[in-house]
Structure 1
Amino acid sequence: MPAKIPATVVTGFLGSGKTTMIRHLLDHANGRRIALVINEFGETGVDGDLLQGCCAPGDIIELSNGCICCTVADDFLPTMEKLLARPEPFDHIVIETSGLALPQPLVRAFAWPGIATRVTVDGVVTVVDGKAVAEGRFAEDEEAIQAQRAADASLDHDSPLAELFEDQLACADMIVLNKTDLLDAAEAEAVAARLSAEARPGARILRAHKGALPLDVLLGINAAAESDMATRSAPHHDAEDDDHDHDEFESFALDLPEVADIPALTARLRAAIATHDILRLKGFVAVAGKPLRLTVQAAGPRIETYFDRPWGTAPRVSRLVVIGEAGLDRAAIEAAIRG
């Protein structure tokens, strides 16, 4: 039988740097033919546009009909079957999950008839925002939780963000501690130690700046993860329980006119993120007088902007995707960003 095509699942919380890492990987593919499957939370995605030009036309498939871990049968499996039906096989398949996805149901899907004999999960790579973890944004102090429960039993102590983070760590063969340029040496050591304590046995932890790791490090793990699910569940999560409720989160797309002042836009975005507790904001902006498209990436209070490529014949339409916990005030956020 021909060798199975290896597939790498890239997961990680919102804004951890998954797309940036994948772009670096594809830019240094050295002739290897890599297919890319991208899953966005909500109906409007921009990650596919961010990665255009890194793969051959048709080698990028974007799934935007819901979280990939909840639409395995409807979206993911048919997509894999289409990729496998190509006359020339790919050397590798890379799957970028939504920041809100549980990787476990997706990995289990590789054992389904139809793809089990043709594809294997080479490895699960979880990308972590090192600065966020250093700030304790996804950490739960068990003693503090118990104290709160004792004081007020009506409080809801379960954080969906923390549980997602735990599940993504628990499934990983490799954890990329990203954004290390934002940490000093002591902070980086502390975050690495915490990740090591929470990771599954044998998981490697690598440090990176903007996800810049060699292709031969990220690919070729040979984990066959779909055959080793027993060790890939967080303590709070039943390994056979695929229930995953996204009602705690919502997203929407915001179309904007051209902007003339990038610093002013950045200031408005920063204020909107702080006021409305936006988890993630990303997209493209047309800047007056500039032929290049401005990419906007924001995770928490940190905002990155850079010109990525000419608009060419594409419409100069500014579009930002806003992601947060349920209850976002869309009208107020739009007014704040428009200024």
Structure 2
Amino acid sequence: MALLNPDLASALPSVLPPALPPIPVTVVTGFLGAGKTTLLRGLVQRRQSRRLALLINEFGEVAIDGELLRAEGDAQGQVQIQDFAHGLIAYGDDEHFVPAMLALAARRAQIDHVLIETSGLALPSAVMEVLQSPELAPHFVLDATLAVVDTPLLLEDAFASGNAAADATAQLFRQQLECADVVVLNKIDGMEEAPLLQAEHTVRALAPNVRFLELAYDARLDIRLALGLRLHQAGATVHHHYTPVAMPGERATVAADQWRFNGHAHSGLGAHSHGLSTHKHFHEQDPGWQSFTLRSEQRQDGDTLRRAVAAAALDQPILRTKGFIVTGSERAQLLQAVRARVVVAEAQAGKFGTQCSELVFIGYHPSRARVVQLLSALTATEWK
């Protein structure tokens, strides 16, 4: 596990400030490529006066998502971003998550809310358990856990069991849903009523105890659904001023264990238990999930590389690819892929001065040598 900004943890004072209300924490989970970072970027843009701390965990050795969030800019200094790369925070022998959180606690007066984006290969219960540890419990309170879903992939049965890679994917996806308070159906622009209802049915079949199911058109979620829910505070009686987006159709009813938010009634939501005791206290990473980074110092053609990455995903069990590429353009290009769906677009101005193309691949027992061979052959450039 590499902590890309160790200054945060090293700045931890020996004595924490006097007792203040615990900092609320929202955990954002979701499988690889679900759109977690894009959703967070929208929340950051609409934060209003909230002072946020974002902890971004990436399985690969290169932190891409943190750079994307930094590209939004923060002239007022209201957003602090911390990267954790090359591993899963709060798992196994991770030694960085608790010190980083304690460093945030030491600056309690400067932070209104913490958002933690877990790796797409992580169970949020790992973070949730550590938040309840003696070190962190006095300083933080879990506000809610959001699970972001790639709805088109869900409808394609991409999370169904099958071979070893499919079984590992299905198990992890289901467990992420089971840990969530709110499931967010993402990538739904242009969808008709029938597939949305089918997606809702599938989610509720996999995780019947999910409390709310929301729609994110254009990858945007009302900030009042992500911050300030207080779903895990015992005896909480909270005013909410937002009604969740209803699922279309006559079947769009609120489940028996749910309440709609409204501006005139108490939510009545008390403490919510996810049954964390059913998970291993010592979270262990499935060694089948592997990541590697490939680089090329030669200029790339965006369309050619896009086809090459898609071909590699069809040839190998690669579920996620992301990174920056150097083309003839003055700015670096951002490549994002979920399985064989690949998109290349211009990166934010002035943020990525990379001199070489760099792509992170994540999959279940993928062959690095085979991907190197495919990319080099199909782009007529050297990748290594």
Shorter-chain TM-score tier? 0.7 to 0.9
For residues 312 and 175 of structure 1, the distance between their equivalents in structure 2, rounded to whole angstroms, comes to: 32
Cross-structure match for 1:162: 170
User: Which of 43, 46, 55 is residue 25 of structure 1 equivalent to?
Assistant: 43
User: Which of 335, 339, 343 is residue 304 of structure 1 equivalent to?
Assistant: 343
The answer to whether 1:12 aligns with 2:30 is: yes
For residue 271 of structure 1, give the secondary structure of its aligned residue in structure 2. helix
Distance 1:305 1:162, change over 3 A: same
Cross-structure match for 1:263: 303
For residues 282 and 152 of structure 2, the distance between their equivalents in structure 1, rounded to whole angstroms, comes to: 30
Contact 1:230-1:239 within 8 A present in 2 as well:
no
For residues 182 and 301 of structure 1, the distance between their equivalents in structure 2, rounded to whole angstroms, comes to: 21
Contact 1:34-1:90 within 8 A present in 2 as well:
yes
Contact 1:171-1:200 within 8 A present in 2 as well:
no
The one-letter amino acid paired with 2:173 is F
Contact 1:17-1:210 within 8 A present in 2 as well:
no
- Structure 1 gaps of 5+ residues are 146-154
User: Which of 66, 80, 103 is residue 48 of structure 1 equivalent to?
Assistant: 66
Distance 1:313 1:75, change over 3 A: closer
Contact 2:336-2:343 within 8 A present in 1 as well:
yes
Contact 2:290-2:364 within 8 A present in 1 as well:
yes
Contact 1:43-1:65 within 8 A present in 2 as well:
yes
Cross-structure match for 1:108: 129
The one-letter amino acid paired with 2:167 is S
Contact 1:14-1:100 within 8 A present in 2 as well:
yes
For residues 319 and 212 of structure 1, the distance between their equivalents in structure 2, rounded to whole angstroms, comes to: 28
For residues 293 and 7 of structure 1, the distance between their equivalents in structure 2, rounded to whole angstroms, comes to: 34
For residues 232 and 208 of structure 2, the distance between their equivalents in structure 1, rounded to whole angstroms, comes to: 15
Cross-structure match for 1:231: 274
The one-letter amino acid paired with 2:372 is E
> Following TM superposition, by how much is the alpha carbon of 1:78 offset from its aligned partner in structure 2, in angstroms?
0.8
Contact 2:181-2:212 within 8 A present in 1 as well:
yes
> Following TM superposition, by how much is the alpha carbon of 1:113 offset from its aligned partner in structure 2, in angstroms?
1.8
For residues 286 and 313 of structure 1, the distance between their equivalents in structure 2, rounded to whole angstroms, comes to: 10
User: Which of 298, 307, 326 is residue 286 of structure 1 equivalent to?
Assistant: 326
Distance 1:50 1:232, change over 3 A: farther
For residues 329 and 305 of structure 1, the distance between their equivalents in structure 2, rounded to whole angstroms, comes to: 23
User: Which of 312, 316, 322 is residue 272 of structure 1 equivalent to?
Assistant: 312
User: Which of 326, 331, 337 is residue 369 of structure 2 equivalent to?
Assistant: 331
Cross-structure match for 1:150: none
Contact 2:56-2:82 within 8 A present in 1 as well:
yes
> Following TM superposition, by how much is the alpha carbon of 1:293 offset from its aligned partner in structure 2, in angstroms?
2.3
Distance 1:67 1:313, change over 3 A: closer
The answer to whether 1:177 aligns with 2:185 is: yes
> Following TM superposition, by how much is the alpha carbon of 1:309 offset from its aligned partner in structure 2, in angstroms?
1.6
> Following TM superposition, by how much is the alpha carbon of 1:283 offset from its aligned partner in structure 2, in angstroms?
0.8
Contact 2:289-2:364 within 8 A present in 1 as well:
yes
For residues 349 and 166 of structure 2, the distance between their equivalents in structure 1, rounded to whole angstroms, comes to: 45
> Following TM superposition, by how much is the alpha carbon of 1:90 offset from its aligned partner in structure 2, in angstroms?
0.6
Deviates more, 1:295-304 or 1:177-186: 177-186
| Deviation digits for residues 197-229 of structure 1 (CA, Å, limit 9, x no counterpart) | 333535111112342112122111111279967
Distance 1:157 1:284, change over 3 A: closer
Cross-structure match for 2:358: 319
Cross-structure match for 2:240: none
The one-letter amino acid paired with 2:188 is T
- Structure 2 gaps of 5+ residues are 1-18, 235-269, 380-384
For residues 213 and 68 of structure 2, the distance between their equivalents in structure 1, rounded to whole angstroms, comes to: 26
Cross-structure match for 2:7: none
Contact 1:255-1:318 within 8 A present in 2 as well:
yes
For residues 43 and 349 of structure 2, the distance between their equivalents in structure 1, rounded to whole angstroms, comes to: 22
Higher relative contact order (CA closer than 8 Å, sequence separation 6+): 1
Contact 1:281-1:298 within 8 A present in 2 as well:
yes
Cross-structure match for 1:148: none
Structure with greater proportional helix content: 1
Deviates more, 1:118-127 or 1:131-140: 131-140
Contact 1:251-1:321 within 8 A present in 2 as well:
yes
For residues 156 and 282 of structure 1, the distance between their equivalents in structure 2, rounded to whole angstroms, comes to: 23
| Deviation digits for residues 27-74 of structure 1 (CA, Å, limit 9, x no counterpart) | 111131111101111322211111113454981111124211415761
For residue 221 of structure 1, give the secondary structure of its aligned residue in structure 2. coil
| Deviation digits for residues 234-258 of structure 1 (CA, Å, limit 9, x no counterpart) | xxx9335544332011001111235
User: Which of 197, 200, 205 is residue 192 of structure 1 equivalent to?
Assistant: 200
Cross-structure match for 1:92: 113
| Deviation digits for residues 143-194 of structure 1 (CA, Å, limit 9, x no counterpart) | xx9xxxxxxxxx9799221111111101101101111126443222101111
| Paired residues, number | 321
For residues 201 and 10 of structure 1, the distance between their equivalents in structure 2, rounded to whole angstroms, comes to: 17
